Amino acid sequence: MGEKRNTQNSRAVGKRYEELAASYLERQGMKIIERNFRTRNGEIDLVGRDGTYLVFIEVKFRKSGVSGSGAEAVHARKQRTICRISDYYRIRYRIPPSTPVRYDVVECGIDERGEITVTWYRHAFLYRT
C-alpha cells in the first residue's frame, strides 16, 4: 500500500509541475493546445504552439540540480519515445508535414532558498528515430 501512495503522490507532484510549466509557457507567449497526450506507448506532457512551431514539451522536476538538469534527464530512449508519439499526434490531428516541429524541456525545481524555479530549454533535442 505504501508504493501506491508514493505513485499517487508522484503523479500529483508531476501534475502540479506540469501546470506550473504550462502557465509559465503561456506567459512567455506559447499557446498550450494539449496536456498529457497519451498513447499506449507513452505520454507527452504538453503540446503547444510557439509562433509557427508545433512544440512537444517534456516537464521534469529537480531539486536544486541534485541529479543533473531536467534536460539531461531526458535520455536518448525517452527522446525516441517522445518523437514516436509526436509522429502519431501529427498523423492523428492531420498536421501538415511542412509544419515546423520542436522538442523542448521545461525543468521545474526548488532552489536552495526553497523557491520554485522554471527553466525552459528550447530545441532541447532533435528528432530521433
- The pLDDT assigned to 42 comes to 94
Question: Could you give the residue ranges of the DSSP H alpha helices within the chain?
Answer: 2-27, 70-73, 76-92
63-92 pLDDT, tens per residue? Answer: 655 566 666 779 999 999 999 999 999 999
Residue span of the structural domain in which 40 resides: 2-121
Q: Is 129 part of a structural domain of the chain?
A: no
22-37 pLDDT, tens per residue? Answer: 999 999 999 999 999 9
* pTM, two decimal places: 0.87
Q: How many residues does the chain have?
A: 129
Number of domains composing the chain: 1
89-114 pLDDT, tens per residue? Answer: 999 999 999 999 999 999 998 888 88
Q: Is 126 part of a structural domain of the chain?
A: no
